[in-house]
């Protein structure tokens, strides 16, 4: 009958499209929610359309961020719906790719907690090094309280094997100094200096991973603010100066790069299965089919994935490059510049806000 047909149509179309939202400039700005965000997400929940949040932000665990956002937006979000800039590093953590790493960025020791949760065994933050010898960064900005509360006693004679920048530095001066010290160290040891190499000058002594390359991002200030990409530029230009070379090798994650979109696609497929089995029998982890689909999420292809973002250089470019549909909103970085001047054109249009974008997508 008509009713059944209607339901079938709805569930077919619902299972075939999915939404992915950027966070800063789309759902929130600073600590303030964007007014239309709650209704937009509730609408998708009502229609049972799966969605994920894909942000270049981070510095805390996915669980903590999901709790913060659930509270701010007034919509229940799962940690499994969140891909932050550093979330793919979980793969390296689980593999125990490095023995000891330096994690840069984020508030206090939150990023360390996150790295430990990913499976990294021995995680140092710049504050630990400052605590042991404040002269490493003579003008550091840490308080006595921070230095006692968030640091760990670490043996600095054990080498650091890699640097992972999880989020924007809070004490940029210290992070620049410690990062460059290590990139130019002898054997990854703090307080040592390698001889400037004659070949492979562009290769730092230990690898550095930047979790995003956002030059700017939108908080609650009227003009966009510098992001981690600006930190990368500073590190890189000092590295080039020190080593008298024209490049610095590094790995960059985050939007607009394929690695992030691939990761998010798998996360979305897993979330879709979790969502479907929740609605089905309430036993999310008990079904064999669930486990099978989780391990082979490519079986779950969406016809369309809509990326709703505010930054043409990250959200929109990445979506376009990876075969997703892109929608640009006016609530963040994008400031009504002529479309022709943008790095990437949104394939599914420009919308006033996230709610307009969701309504548009649902009607396609």
Residues contacting residue 78 through CB under 8 Å, at least 6 positions apart: 66, 271, 274
Instruction: Please give the span between the terminal C-alpha atoms of the chain, in angstroms, as a whole number.
Output: 24
Nearer to ligand G3P, 165 or 300 (CB): 165
In the complex with Mg ion, the residue whose CB is nearer, 28 or 136, is: 28
Check binding of 168 to Mg ion (CB under 5 A): no
Residues at the site binding ligand G3P, with contacts judged by CB under 6 A:
22-25, 55-57, 168, 212, 214, 217, 227, 311
Q: Using the minimum distance from each CB to ligand G3P, give the nearer residue, 292 or 335.
A: 335
**Of residues 34 and 115, the one with the C-beta less far from Mg ion:** 34
Q: Which does 181 bind (CB under 5 to 8 A by kind): Mg ion, ligand G3P, none?
A: none
Stretch that binds Mg ion, among 127-135, 173-181, 275-283, 311-319 (CB under 5 A): 311-319
In the complex, the smallest distance separating the C-beta of residue 45 from ligand G3P, rounded to whole angstroms, is: 20
**Closest of 244, 213, 128, 207 to residue 175, by C-alpha:** 128
Q: What is the smallest separation between the CB atom of 214 and Mg ion, expressed in angstroms?
A: 8
Partner interacting with residue 212 (select from ligand G3P, Mg ion, none; CB below 5-8 Å by kind): ligand G3P
For position 24 contacting Mg ion by CB under 5 A, the verdict is yes
Looking at the Cβ atoms of 171 and 310, the one nearer to Mg ion is 310
Q: Work out how close the CB of 314 gets to ligand G3P at its nearest, in angstroms, rounded to a whole number.
A: 6
Residue at shortest CB range from Mg ion:
25
Which is it for strands 122-124 and 100-104: parallel, antiparallel or unpaired? parallel
Of 244, 103, 104, 243, nearest to 184 (Cα)? Answer: 243
User: DSSP strand E in 114-182: where?
Assistant: 122-124, 162-165
Q: What's the per-residue H, E or C state across 246-287? A: CCCCCEECCCCCHHHHHHHHHHHHHHHHHHHHHHHCCCCCCC
Centroid of chain to Cα 225? 17
Helix, strand, coil percentages in the chain from 3-state DSSP, rounded to 5 = 45, 15, 45
Closest approach of Cβ 57 to ligand G3P, in Å? 3
- Which of 310, 325, 353, 356 binds Mg ion (CB under 5 A)? It is 310
Picked from ligand G3P, Mg ion, none, the partner binding residue 356 (CB below 5 to 8 A depending on kind) is none
Cα separation, 176 vs 199, in Å, equals 24
Task: State the binding partner of 184 from ligand G3P, Mg ion, none, CB within 5 to 8 A by kind.
Answer: none
**DSSP 8-state class, residue 40:** H
User: Minimum CB separation from ligand G3P for residue 309, in Å?
Assistant: 7
Which CB sits closer to ligand G3P, 129 or 333? 333
Q: Which two tokens stand for residue 215?
A: 């030059």
Contact segment (CB under 5 A) with Mg ion among 15-23, 27-35, 139-147, 336-344 equals: 15-23
Site size toward Mg ion, by CB under 5 A: 5
Query: Cβ of residue 141: shortest distance to ligand G3P, in angstroms?
Result: 19
Contact assessment for residue 171 and residue 231, using Cβ atoms and an 8 Å cutoff: no
Instruction: Report yes or no: 333 and 29 within 8 Å, Cβ to Cβ.
Output: no
CA distance 179 to 24: 27
Binding partner of residue 151 among ligand G3P, Mg ion, none, CB under 5 to 8 Å per kind? none
Residue choice 17, 19, 25, 205 for contact with Mg ion (CB under 5 A): 25
Alpha-carbon gap, residue 224 to 311, rounded angstroms = 10
Half-sphere exposure of 116 (CA within 13 A, CB side): 9
Can residue 22 be called a binding residue for Mg ion (CB under 5 A)?
Answer: yes
- Of 109 and 310, which has the nearer Cβ to Mg ion? 310
Residue 209 has, within 13 A of its CA and on its CB side, a CA count of 18
Nearer to ligand G3P, 188 or 256 (CB): 256
Q: Which residues bind Mg ion (CB under 5 A)?
A: 22, 24-25, 310-311
């Amino acid at each position: 009958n008509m009713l059944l047909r209607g339901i079938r149509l709805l569930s077919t179309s619902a299972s075939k499209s999915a939404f992915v939202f950027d966070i800063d400039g789309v759902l929130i700005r600073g600590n303030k929610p964007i007014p239309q965000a709650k209704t937009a997400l509730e609408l998708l929940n009502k229609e049972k359309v799966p969605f994920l949040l894909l942000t270049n932000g981070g510095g805390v665990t996915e669980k903590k961020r999901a709790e913060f956002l659930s509270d701010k937006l007034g919509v229940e979000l799962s940690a499994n719906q969140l891909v932050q800039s550093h979330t793919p590093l979980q793969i390296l953590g689980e593999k125990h790719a490095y023995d000891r790493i330096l994690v840069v960025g984020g508030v206090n020791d939150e990023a360390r907690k996150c790295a430990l949760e990913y499976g990294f065994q021995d995680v140092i933050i710049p504050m630990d090094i400052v605590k042991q010898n404040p002269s490493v960064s003579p003008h550091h900005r840490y308080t006595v309280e921070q230095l006692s509360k968030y640091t760990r006693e670490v043996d600095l004679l054990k080498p650091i094997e890699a640097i992972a920048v999880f989020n924007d530095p809070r004490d940029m001066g210290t992070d620049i100094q410690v990062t460059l010290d290590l990139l130019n160290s002898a054997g990854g040891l703090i307080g040592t200096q390698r001889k400037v190499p004659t070949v492979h000058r562009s290769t730092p002594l230990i690898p550095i991973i930047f979790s995003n390359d956002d030059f700017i991002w939108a908080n609650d200030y009227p003009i966009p603010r510098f992001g981690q990409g600006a930190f990368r530029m500073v590190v890189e230009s000092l590295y080039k100066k020190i080593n008298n070379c024209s490049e610095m090798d590094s790995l960059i994650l985050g939007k607009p790069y394929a690695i992030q979109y691939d990761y998010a696609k798998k996360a979305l497929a897993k979330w879709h299965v979790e969502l479907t089995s929740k609605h089905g029998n309430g036993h999310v982890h008990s079904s064999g089919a669930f486990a099978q689909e989780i391990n082979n999420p490519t079986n779950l292809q969406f016809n369309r994935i809509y990326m709703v973002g505010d930054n043409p250089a990250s959200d929109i470019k990445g979506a376009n490059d990876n075969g997703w549909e892109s929608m640009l909103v006016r609530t963040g970085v994008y400031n009504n510049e002529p479309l022709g001047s943008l790095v990437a054109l949104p394939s599914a249009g420009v919308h006033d806000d996230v709610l307009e974008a969701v309504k548009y997508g649902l009607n396609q």
